[in-house]
């Protein structure tokens, strides 16, 4: 009985603390702009996020958003079509036209590190 009571108390305290710690602001002296991490979002549906103080303001102030994908939704043909559309560059655009020279150089270095070839390789550049 004592173990059950302690376990129940632990679960209750964890639930109360977790509710208050879903949105984290990451900032520091060397950062030009803060970043935000929204933790444990996969446990709740989308409308839930709108009820948490500060989420809407954080999203409105961001340049980019990264998130998880539900694997079952990802395999849906309609979802795959939408993702493919956003994975390809617009017609007539290349990496050289959408990246700054500095970004292009960084990408080339990463490709060389991970793949052993860079953007100067015709197969990679294509």
Residue where the block lists tokens 């990264």: 66
The rounded distance, in Å, linking the Cα atoms of 95 and 15 is 46
Q: Are residues 98 and 84 in the same domain?
A: no
pLDDT digits 0-9 by tens, 45-60: 566 667 777 777 877 8
What pLDDT is attached to residue 21? Answer: 62
Do residues 83 and 98 share a domain?
Answer: no
Check whether residue 77 and residue 123 sit in a common domain. Answer: no
Phi, psi for residue 23 in degrees, rounded to 5:
-110, 120
DSSP assignment letter at 68: -
Same domain, 26 and 54: yes
- The number of domains in the chain is 2
Q: Which domain holds residue 99?
A: 93-126
Q: Rounded mean pLDDT of 35-51?
A: 65
Tokens of 97: 């036209």
Can you give the pLDDT at residue 19?
A: 47
9-23, 31-45, 81-95, range with greatest mean pLDDT: 81-95
pLDDT bracket for residue 101 (50, 70, 90): very high
């Amino acid at each position: 009985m004592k173990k059950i009571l302690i376990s129940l108390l632990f679960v209750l305290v964890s639930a109360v603390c977790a509710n208050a710690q879903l949105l984290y602001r990451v900032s520091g002296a060397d950062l030009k702009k803060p970043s935000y991490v929204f933790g444990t979002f996969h446990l709740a549906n989308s409308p839930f996020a709108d009820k948490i103080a500060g989420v809407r303001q954080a999203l409105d102030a961001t340049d980019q958003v990264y998130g998880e994908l539900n694997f079952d939704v990802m395999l849906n043909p309609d979802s795959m079509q939408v993702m493919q559309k956003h994975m390809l560059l617009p017609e007539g655009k290349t990496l050289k036209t959408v990246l700054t020279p500095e970004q292009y150089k960084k990408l080339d270095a990463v490709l060389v590190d991970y793949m052993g070839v860079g953007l100067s390789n015709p197969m990679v550049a294509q």
